[in-house]
């Protein structure tokens, strides 16, 4: 299969790169050839360590990419790459060697997935960025195996910028192709900031799972729990649209005639807990609600205009998909 890769960096040589500020990649727009050279050299300096931890994921029903984030072989990828928990698969390292692995947990909502290499050894790995560290306009670069592992071609590198960064989706113009799913997106400090999720034909429509989604659900994923739409269908339903913000889980919309509207939940409310269970992410909130039965009584703590309130809600049933 022939794959056409459009390079977003022109090789400009290395002359005078040493006299350019190493903060050239912090500028919104490169101000000359010196900045472009500095950006190129910075990227080159980060590739050896980041590429060493990239894996191609191979299973009977599909393939994708992933990145090792711990010495014992924990791999972050996309949920649609692992498919389900406990699935046996293989990962292939850049040198072509394969190692057995098993899928852990993830979320179909955010498309975050996790697997564990089962062969015991010290694996190369990358550092993860902390939550809330990526901003719109930041330079970034992605790695992957578009079209599957190809030792002759090698790992494919793309560079771009963060265009949008919301609750469970990061958008960049770092071009993705089929087979990149589950691969890593890094900042210009070499830290993992997201995992490739959805591929588009448009150059600026590339979507990734922010590292925040993994941090917020780390133990849940490691325990081989999978948040799936199928599991949610039989559970209870509150009827709010939420986004995780610096203030907490904020209500962005209330569905008409839902349990939330009947209980008086309002837009801009901050959801704090459900039945005294602290809410640390949108996914955790969905798990708490959908684990209850329709008509169950839920105690919800929220903050409205700086004041903490406690309300009781008779939960409803999740609407059938249209």
pLDDT tens per residue, range 184-243: 999 999 999 999 998 777 788 889 999 998 998 898 899 888 877 776 777 889 999 888
Question: What is the residue range of 65's domain?
Answer: 54-125
- pLDDT for residue 19: 38
Split into its structural domains, the chain has a count of 3
Least confident stretch, 13-22, 88-97, 194-203: 13-22
243 and 305 both lie in a single domain: yes
CB 40 within 8 A of CB 139: no
Least confident stretch, 11-25, 130-144, 256-270: 11-25
- pLDDT for residue 132: 85
209 and 240 both lie in a single domain: no
236 and 309 both lie in a single domain: yes
pTM assigned to the model: 0.75
Q: State how far the Cα of 219 lies from the Cα of 226, in Å rounded to an integer.
A: 12
- Percent of residues, the chain, with pLDDT higher than 70: 90
pLDDT higher than threshold 60 for residue 1: no
Here the CATH number for the domain that contains residue 285 is 2.30.42.10
- pLDDT for residue 200: 74
> What kind and span of H or E run contains 289?
helix 282-290
58 and 43 both lie in a single domain: no
**Mean pLDDT for all residues in the chain:** 85
Please report whether residue 178 resides in a domain. Answer: yes
Mean pLDDT of 263-273: 95
pLDDT in tens, 55-71: 999 987 778 999 999 99
Confidence of residue 318 (pLDDT cuts 50, 70, 90): confident
- The DSSP string of 177-235 is -TT-TT-EEEETTS-EEEEEEE--SSTT-EEEEEHHHHHHTHHHHHTT-EE-HHHHHTS
Please report whether residue 219 resides in a domain. Answer: no
Confidence of residue 14 (pLDDT cuts 50, 70, 90): very low
Confidence of residue 311 (pLDDT cuts 50, 70, 90): very high
92 and 236 both lie in a single domain: no
Domain's final residue, options 214, 249, 281: 214
Please report whether residue 253 resides in a domain. Answer: yes
CB 90 within 8 A of CB 81: no
The H helix count followed by the E strand count for the chain is: 7, 21
Q: State how far the Cα of 20 lies from the Cα of 276, in Å rounded to an integer.
A: 54
C-alpha atoms less than 13 angstroms from C-alpha of 37 in its C-beta half-sphere? 13
Here the CATH number for the domain that contains residue 35 is 2.40.10.10
- pLDDT for residue 322: 55
b/e map 162-176, b = 16+ CB within 10 Å? bbebebbbbbbbbbb
194 and 274 both lie in a single domain: no
pLDDT higher than threshold 50 for residue 11: no
Q: State how far the Cα of 231 lies from the Cα of 126, in Å rounded to an integer.
A: 33
pLDDT in tens, 128-162: 999 888 999 899 999 988 878 888 788 889 999 99
Domain's final residue, options 69, 94, 125: 125
Please report whether residue 221 resides in a domain. Answer: no
35 and 178 both lie in a single domain: yes
- pLDDT for residue 317: 86
> What kind and span of H or E run contains 237?
strand 236-237
Please give the torsion angle defined by the CA atoms of residues 46, 51, 54 and 55, in that order, rounded to the nearest 10 degrees.
Answer: 180
131 and 117 both lie in a single domain: no
pLDDT higher than threshold 50 for residue 5: no
pLDDT in tens, 94-135: 999 999 999 999 988 889 999 999 999 999 999 999 988 899
- pLDDT for residue 89: 93
71 and 90 both lie in a single domain: yes
């Amino acid at each position: 299969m022939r794959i056409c890769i459009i390079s977003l960096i022109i090789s400009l040589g290395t002359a005078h790169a040493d006299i350019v500020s190493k903060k050239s990649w912090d500028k919104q727009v490169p101000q000359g050839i010196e900045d472009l050279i500095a950006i190129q050299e910075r990227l080159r300096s980060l590739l050896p360590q980041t590429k060493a931890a990239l894996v191609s994921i191979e299973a009977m029903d599909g393939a994708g990419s992933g990145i090792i984030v711990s010495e014992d072989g924990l791999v972050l990828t996309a949920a649609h790459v692992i498919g389900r928990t406990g699935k046996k698969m293989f990962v292939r390292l850049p040198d072509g060697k394969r190692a057995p692995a098993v899928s852990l947990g993830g979320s179909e909502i955010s498309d975050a997935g996790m697997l564990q290499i089962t062969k015991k050894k010290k694996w190369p790995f990358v550092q993860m960025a902390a939550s809330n560290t990526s901003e719109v306009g930041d330079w970034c670069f992605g790695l992957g195996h578009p079209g599957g592992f190809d030792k002759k071609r090698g790992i494919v590198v793309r560079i771009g910028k963060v265009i949008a960064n919301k609750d469970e989706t990061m958008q960049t113009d770092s071009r993705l192709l089929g087979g990149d799913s589950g691969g890593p997106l890094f900042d210009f400090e070499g830290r993992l900031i997201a995992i490739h999720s959805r591929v588009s034909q448009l150059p600026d429509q590339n979507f990734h799972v922010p590292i925040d989604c993994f941090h917020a659900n780390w133990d849940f994923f490691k325990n081989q729990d999978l948040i799936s739409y199928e599991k949610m269908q039989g559970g209870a339903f509150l009827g709010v649209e939420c986004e995780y913000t610096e203030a907490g889980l904020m209500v962005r919309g209330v569905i008409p005639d839902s349990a939330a509207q009947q209980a008086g939940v309002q837009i801009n409310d901050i959801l704090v807990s459900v039945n005294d269970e602290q809410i640390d992410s949108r996914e955790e909130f969905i798990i708490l609600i959908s684990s209850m039965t329709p008509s169950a009584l839920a105690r919800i703590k929220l903050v409205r205009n700086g004041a903490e309130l406690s309300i009781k809600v008779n939960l409803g049933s999740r609407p059938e998909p249209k």
